[in-house]
Structure 1
Amino acid sequence: MATQVEAKTGSSVRVRVQKFGTFLSGMIMPNIGAFIAWGIVTALFIEAGWLPVPQLGGFGETDGVANIGLVGPMITYLLPLLIAYTGGRMVHDVRGGVVGSIATMGVIVGAGIPMFIGAMIMGPLGGWTMKKIDAIWDGKIRPGFEMLVNNFSAGIWGAVLALIGFFGVSPLVEAFSTGAGNVVQFLVDNGLLPLTSIFIEPAKVLFLNNAINHGVLTPLGVQQSLEEGKSILFMLEANPGPGLGILLAYMFFGRGAAKASASGAAIIHFVGGIHEIYFPYVLMRPLLILAAIAGGMTGIATLSITNAGLVAPAAPGSIIAVLAQSSRDSYVGVVLAVVLATAVSFLVASVILKTGKNQDDGDLAAAATRMEGLKGKKSSVAGTFQSSSATEGPIRNIVFACDAGMGSSAMGASVLRNKIKAAGFPDVKVTNLAIANLKDDYDVVVTHQDLAARAEPLTQSATHVSVDNFMNSPRYEEIVELVRASAAADSGIDPQIPTAAAVAAEADAAGEAGAGRDVLAEESVILSGRATTQKDAIDEAGGLLVDRDAVDSSYVAAMHERELSVPTYMGNFLAIPHGTNAAKDLIKRSAVSIIRYPEGIDWNGKQVKFVVGVAGINNEHLSILSAIARVFSDKEQVARLDEATTVDEVLALFGKVNA
C-alpha cells in the first residue's frame, strides 16, 4: 500500500513538473523565430561576426555617438517582452498579454540585463492578476462605460506591476540569475558540466526537459551569449547525437518493427529535430538510457574542450538548426560534439542490444503508448511505431471543423453524430468547431476538402477526413466503419449489435429539435422565394434574419464573404449561407430562416432548392440545425419538403418547432 502511495505521489509530481515545463515552453516556443532572428543578426554583424557592421552590431561610434545596433535592444527588450506577452496572453488573452508586458518592462529597466526569467514571472503574473481584477466587476459595469473601465484598469494595474517589478522583482531575479550563472561557471571551471547529462537525458524521455531547458538553460544561455558571443548551455539538451546513436544501433542490431522503423525515425530525429521520436526505443529497453547519458556527456565534454557554443537556442534540435546557430569559431567543436556523442551512444547502445534479450514488434508499439502516457497527451510521432497489423485505440472524439464553426460544421457534425449513434456507438463524441479553435486532442478531424490544408497542421496526431458534400458524403460511412473497427479491436465486442443505449440516444436525437422554438419562427419560412441567383438568395435569406432583428444588417455582407471563401452547398439541394467567424459580433440572437426555390438556383454549378440562413450565438441554434440535418440526409424527407404546400408542413418536418 505504501509503495502504491509513493508511486502515485511520484507520478503526481512528475505530471506537475511536466505541466510547469509545458507552460514555460508555451511562452518560449512561439517566439523561437525571434530568437533565431537575433542569433542571425548576432552571428553576422557583431564585431567578431561574419560581416561586422558597427551600426547593426552595436560597436564603435558613428559621428562621435556610440552605436546602439540591433543586437542589444533585441535581446534586452524585444525578446523578454515577446515572452511576457505570450505568457500573459496564455492566462488572460490579449488583455493579460498587454498587462504582463507592461509589468515586465519594470523588471527589464530595473535589472538592466536581459530578463527572461523575469519575463516568465511577470508575464503570467500580470495576466493572472488582471483576470482576477476583471472578475470583480464582471457584469457590473454600466452600459457605455465598458471601454473606459477596461482601459484604465489595465493601464493603472500595469503601471503598479511595473513599479513592483522595478523595485521588488528585478533585484531578486538578478540575484537568482547571478547565482545560477555562478553555479554553471563552477561546473565549467571544474570540468563537471558533462555530469548534467545524468539528469538531462532521463528528463527528456520523461518529458521533464522543458522545465529544465526553457526554465533555466535558455535564459542563462542567452545571458552568457550576450556577454561572450556564444553559450554551451544551448547544446546541453539540443544535441541530436545521443538519440541518433541509439537509433543507429537499432538499425544494425534491432529486430522486427524496431529495426525496420529506426532508419525513418533517425531522419526525423536528426534532420527534423523531433527528439521525441527516439523515446519509445529507450522505453522499450530502459537500459538504453545509459547510452543517451554517455553520448550526452561526451558531447558536452567535447564542447567544453573546444570552447564551442551556439549564439542562440537551436529549436527544434535539428542538425540544421544547430549549425545555423553555431558561433563563427565553433563549427568544428559543434560538429565534433555531435559526431562523438553519436559514436559513443551507438557503441553503448549496440552492446546493450546485442547482450539483451530479443524484443518483438509489439514492444515498440507498447513503448509508444507508454510514451504518450508519460507525455500526458497524444504524440504526433507515435503512429510511426505501429506495425502494419497494429490497431489504434478506440475512437472517442471526432470534430467537424469549418471556417466559422457555426453552420456547415454544425450540420455536418449532426449528420455524422446520428450515423454513429445509429451504428451503436452513442459514447463517441462528435462536436463542431472553428478551425482557429482546434487543438491536437481529437481522434478524427472532418473538414471540407477546401479547408483540410488549414486544419491538418493544427491536429497532426488525428486522422483527417475531407468531404465535399456535408449531407450525404460517402466518407461518413468510412468514419463509421473506422469507429466500429477501433471499438471491436479495443473491447472484442461485436459492434454490429446495437445497444440499448444507442436506441435510447437515437430516440433522444429525434426529439432534440424541440429546443429550437425561438430560433425558427413561422415568419422566417418562405415556400416560394423571389431570388433567381445565388447572390440574391443570400440577400433574401439574410434579409429574413435582419427583419427578425436577429442580426445587424451588415451581417448579410459577411454571409457573402463566407460564400467566397468556402461554398455553403451541403448536398441534397440544400445551402446554408452564414457569416464569417469575424462577424459573430453582428449577431444579436440565434435565428434560422428557410426559403424554398421550386425552380432551383444555380449554386456554383449545383442545383439548390432550399436556402437556410443561419445566425447562431454559442450553441443555441444547434438543435434546429440538427433537425435540418436529419431531414436533408433523408431523400424521402427532402421530397416531402419539396411537395409541402403550407409553412406548418415545413415546420412539422423539423420537429414542430412552433408547437
Structure 2
Amino acid sequence: MTTTSPSPTGVNRARIGVQRFGTFLSGMIMPNIAAFIAWGFITMLFISVGWLGMWHPVADLLGGFGNADTLGWHGAMTALAKGPDGTTTFLQYVGLVGPMVTYLLPLLIANTGGRMVYGERGGVVASIATMGVIVGTDIPMFLGAMIMGPLAGLVTKWMDRIWDGKIRPGFEMLVNNFSAGILGMLLAIVGFFGFGPIMLGISAVLGTVVAWLVSIHLLPIVSVIVEPAKVLFLNNAINHGVFTPLGIEQASHVGKSILFLIEANPGPGLGLLLAFTFFGIGEAKASAPGAIIIQFFGGIHEIYFPYALSKPMTILALMAGGATGVTTNMVLGGGLAFPAAPGSIIAVTAAALSPAAGGFGNLLIVYLSVVLAAVVTFLIAGVILRASRRRDLAAADTFGAAIAQTEANKGRSSAAMDALRASSASAVAAAPAEAPVATEHRIDRIVFACDAGMGSSAMGASVLRNKIKKAGLEGVDVTNKAIANLDGTEDLIITQQQLTDRAKARNGDAIHVSVDNFMNSPRYDEVVEMVRRQHGDGA
C-alpha cells in the first residue's frame, strides 16, 4: 500500500540533511510571511512619506512618526530624513511600524520555532526567552529569534523529561506552569545579558560582509551560489536563513533591501523558459510557455528547475542572469521594502512600490533588473540550446528524467512538478500500477502531508476534497499540514513516496497512501470508493 525509497548514502545524505535544515529554517519564516507583508504595507501606506502619510494624525498613529521629541508633521519629516545617527531609521518611532519589526515579527518566528520543536509549550517558552534577546539589543532580532526559539523549545523538552511520570496526581498543572514560567524567565535573562549581545555581534558581522561586498561590487558573485542552490532545492537555507533576516533589518533602517531580490528575482527563470520556448525540443519546448505563467505570475520558481536539469549547462545562464539582476539593483540602488513571497512579479511590484523604498523610481529599477536578468539568461541559454540542438534531437528525451531528478533533489513532490509530469506521455507510460487500498479502518479525517504543509499538499487536498464532495460523502475532513505537525489523530495520510516513512514515524496507526502525483493520482478514486463503501455500510 505504500512505497519507500532506498536509504540515502554519501552525497545524497548530505544534500538531504541540508535540505531538511533549510526546510526547518523556512518552516519558521514561511508561516509568518503574512505578518512581514502586513508590516510592509503599513510602512508603505502610513509612514510620513507613504501613500497616506499626508493624512495626519493617522500617519502618526499607524506609521508611528511621533514621540516626545518629534511631534507633528514637520517633526516626523525631519525624523524620517535623519535619525539619531544621521541615517534614515524607522525603529525610533512609536506606532505600528517600529514595534512590529522590533517585537512582533521576531516573536512570531521564535514561537513558530519553539512549536516546531516542542508544541505549544515550547512556543510559549521560546517567546519569553526571545523577548530577553530582543530587549538586550537595539536591532530587529530575527537571527536571534531563529536560534533562541528552537533552542528554548528543546530545553523545555529536556526539562520535562526530568520529571516525566514523577508528578503526583493533581499537581500536573502547577508543576507545568511554574516550570515553564521559571525556565522562560531564566532563558530571558540569559538572552538579555549573554545571547543578545552575541547575536548583535553576529548580525553586525553579517551586515558588514554584505556592505563590504556591495562596496567592492562583488555582491553579484552571490548568484554563483544561489542559482545552482535553487535548482538543488537548497535555496531555503540561504534565502530564509540569511537574506530575509538581514534584509528586514536593512529595510527597517533604510526602507528597502537588495537582499530580497537576490533569490526572488523572477528574471532568470523567465529567461530560461523563454529560451526553451524558442530553442528547446520535444516536451520541454511544448510545456515551457505554460510554465512561464506559473513561474512569472504565480511565483513558483521550482517549475523551471527540470528545464535546467535537462540541460545542466543552462545553469551557467541562470548564474549570469542572476548576477546581472543583482548588479543592476546594486548600481542603481534598487530593492524591496519587504520580502516578495512567493517570487511573483506581482509580489515584487508591491514590495518595490513602497514609498519607503523609493516609489515608482525604485519600481522602474527593479523592473529593469528583472528584464536584464531575463534577457541575459535567455541569450546565453539560447546559445547553449542551439549549439546542442542537433545532438538533442538525436538523443532520447531527457525531460521526464529531469522532472524525476528535480523531485529527488527536493526530496518531495510538488504541484508544479506534477503538472509537468501530467503533460509528459513518457512519464505516464512509465508510471507503475498501484495496488488498491483496502482496510476496515474507518476514515473520517484525511490529511495530505508534506515538508511545509502548504503548496502542493494544499492543492492535493483540494482535488480530493472536490472528489469527496462530488461523491456525496459527508463527515469526511480533508486537510493538509506539515509532516512535523502530524499529531496521531489522522485516519489516512497521503504523502509523496519519499516522505511516507517520515509520516509513518509521526503516526504509525494511520493508513498511509503514497502517491507520485499530488494533482491527479489514481489513488484518490480508490480512497473515495473505500470511504463510500465504509460510510454506506455504516462501518
Shorter-normalised TM range: 0.7 to 0.9
Corresponding residue number in structure 2 for 1:333? 365
Q: Does structure 1 retain, via aligned residues, the 8 Å contact 2:307–2:402? A: yes
Match of 2:328 among 288, 302, 308: 302
Match of 1:26 in 2: 27
Cross-structure match for 1:98 = 124
Aligned amino acid, residue 319 of structure 1: I
Change (3 A) 1:321 1:60: same
- Alpha-carbon shift at residue 458 of structure 1 (Å): 6.2
Q: How far apart in 2 are the matches of 1:152 and 1:189?
A: 51
- Quote the offset at 1:393 in angstroms: 4.0
Aligned pairs (5 A) from 1:87-166 = 87-166=113-192
Match of 2:449 in 1: 439
Q: What SS does structure 1 have at the residue aligned with 2:425?
A: coil
| Counterpart pick for 1:358 among 383, 386, 392 | 392
Cα offset, 1:50, TM superposition:
2.4
Q: Using the TM superposition, give the Cα deviation of residue 149 of structure 1 relative to its aligned residue in structure 2, in angstroms.
A: 1.2
Deviations 1:592-648 (A, max 9, x none): xxxxxxxxxxxxxxxxxxxxxxxxxx969xxxxxxxx99x969xxx9xx9xxxxxxx
Q: Does the residue aligned with 1:316 lie in a helix, a strand or coil? A: coil
Counterpart check, 1:228 vs 2:249: no
Deviations 1:562-603 (A, max 9, x none): xxx9358xxxxxxxxxxxxx9x9xxxxxxxxxxxxxxxxxxx
Q: What is the alpha-carbon distance in structure 1 between the residues aligned to residue 155 and residue 443 of structure 2?
A: 32
Change over 3 Å in CA distance of 1:393–1:433 after alignment to 2: farther
Q: Deviations over 1:452-480 (max 9, x none)?
A: xx99726469877834799xx9xxxxxxx
Instruction: Measure, in 1, the Cα distance between the counterparts of 2:312 and 2:99.
Output: 46
Give the whole-Å Cα distance in 1 for the aligned partners of 2:156 and 2:380.
52
Q: Matched residue of 1:439: which SS?
A: strand
Q: Higher relative contact order at CA 8 Å, sep ≥6: structure 1 or structure 2? A: 2
* Kept after mapping to 2: 8 A contact 1:439/1:458: no
1:56 CA displacement:
2.2
State yes or no: 1:185 paired with 2:206. Answer: no
How far apart in 1 are the matches of 2:442 and 2:405? 28
Distance of aligned partners of 1:456 and 1:314 in 2 relative to their CA distance in 1, 3 Å threshold: closer
Instruction: Say if 1:46 and 1:57, in contact at 8 Å, map to a contact too.
Output: yes
Give the AA of the match of 1:16. Answer: G
Q: 1:465 to 1:230 in 2, by over 3 A?
A: closer
* Distance change in 2, residues 1:431/1:275 (3 Å): farther
Q: Which residue of 2 aligns with 1:376?
A: 411
Amino acid at match of 2:368: L
The answer to whether the Cα contact below 8 Å between 1:194 and 1:298 also exists between their aligned partners in 2 is yes
SS of residue in 2 equivalent to 1:336: helix
**Contact 1:58 / 1:72 at 8 angstroms: preserved in 2?**
yes
Residue correspondence of structure 1 range 541-620 to structure 2 within 5 A: 566=474
Counterpart Cα distance in 2 of 1:67 and 1:144: 48
Aligned match of 1:388 in 408, 425, 434?
425
Question: Which residue pairs with 2:519 in the alignment?
Answer: none
Calculate percent identity across the aligned residue pairs.
54
Query: Alpha-carbon deviation of 1:61?
Result: 4.5
In structure 1, what is the Cα distance between the partners aligned to 2:64 and 2:181? 33
From the superposition, tell whether residues 118 and 567 of structure 1 become closer, same or farther in structure 2 (CA, over 3 Å).
Answer: closer
Quick check: 1:56 aligned with 2:57?
A: no
CA distance in 2, matches of 1:304, 1:268: 28
Within 5 Å, which residues of 2 pair with 1:458-469?
459=460, 466-467=467-468
1:433 positional shift: 6.8
1:43 aligns with 2:44: yes
Aligned mates of 1:33, 1:373 — CA distance in 2: 30
Gapped runs of 5+ residues in structure 1? 1-6, 399-415, 420-429, 442-453, 474-564, 569-581, 585-617, 621-628, 642-653, 655-659
- TM superposition shift of 1:140: 2.4
**Could you tell me how far apart the structure 2 residues matched to 1:49 and 1:216 are?**
28
Give the CA deviation at 1:132: 1.6
User: Aligned in 2, Cα 1:286/1:63: closer, same or farther, shift over 3 Å?
Assistant: closer
d(CA) in 2 for partners of 1:223, 1:33: 17
Equivalence map 1:247-646=2 (5 Å) = 247-326=273-352, 327=357, 328=359, 329-356=361-388, 357-358=391-392, 362-386=397-421, 387-391=424-428, 393-394=431-432, 416-417=437-438, 432=443, 434-435=445-446, 437-440=447-450, 457=458, 459=460, 466-467=467-468, 566=474
What is the letter of the counterpart of residue 137 of structure 1? W
Q: Which amino acid aligns with 2:458?
A: P
- In 2: Cα distance, 1:372 partner to 1:75 partner: 36
Q: Which amino acid in the other structure matches residue 72 of structure 1?
A: G
Separation in 2, partners of 1:171, 1:314:
30
Contact 1:364 1:385 in 2 (8 A): no
Read off the aligned partner of 2:245 and give its amino acid letter: P
Q: What does the per-residue CA deviation read over 1:427-464, in whole Å, with 9 as the maximum and x for residues that have no partner? A: xxx995734x53138xxxxxxxxxxxx99726469877
Rounded to whole Å, the distance in 1 between the matches of 2:116 and 2:433 is 29
Structure 1 pair 156/367, CA: closer, same or farther in 2 (3 Å)?
Answer: same
Q: Shift of the alpha carbon at 1:150?
A: 1.1
2-structure distance, mates of 1:200, 1:456:
26
Q: How many residues are paired up?
A: 443
Question: In the superposition, relative to structure 1, how do residues 303 and 63 fare at CA in structure 2: closer, same or farther (>3 Å)?
Answer: closer
> Aligned partner of 1:54: which letter?
D
1:11 aligns with 2:12: yes
Per the alignment, in what secondary structure is the counterpart of residue 32 of structure 2? helix
Contact 1:440 1:459 in 2 (8 A): no
What residue number does 1:593 align with? none
Seen in structure 2, the aligned counterparts of structure 1 residues 135 and 285 have a Cα distance that, compared at 3 Å, is same
User: Counterpart of 1:207 in 2: which secondary structure?
Assistant: coil
Structure 2 unaligned runs (5+)? 1-7, 54-58, 72-91, 477-486, 490-507, 511-528
TM-score (norm 2): 0.75
396 and 251 in structure 1: CA distance in 2 versus 1, 3 angstrom threshold? same
Q: Which has the higher helix share?
A: 2
Distance 1:173 1:335 in 2: 35
* 2:444–2:475 contact (8 Å) kept in structure 1: no
Where does residue 174 of structure 1 map in the other structure? 200
Indicate how the Cα distance of structure 1 residues 366 and 103 shifts in structure 2: closer, same or farther if over 3 A, else same. same
Structure-2 change in CA distance of 1:186 and 1:304 (3 Å): same
Deviations along 1:173-192, one digit per CA (max 9) or x if unpaired, are 11010001011001111111
Distance 2:469 2:61 in 1: 55
Partners of 1:272 and 1:469 in 2: how far apart?
28
Deviations for 1:463-513, whole angstroms, at most 9, x for unmatched residues?
A: 77834799xx9xxxxxxxxxxxxxxxxxxxxxxxxxxxxxxxxxxxxxxxx
Bigger strand share? 1
CA distance in 1, matches of 2:457, 2:143: 34
Note the C-alpha offset of 1:47. 2.9
C-alpha contact (below 8 Å) 2:118/2:154 kept by paired residues: yes
Partners of 2:332 and 2:13 lie apart in 1 by 41
- Which residue of structure 1 lines up, in the alignment, with residue 514 of structure 2? none
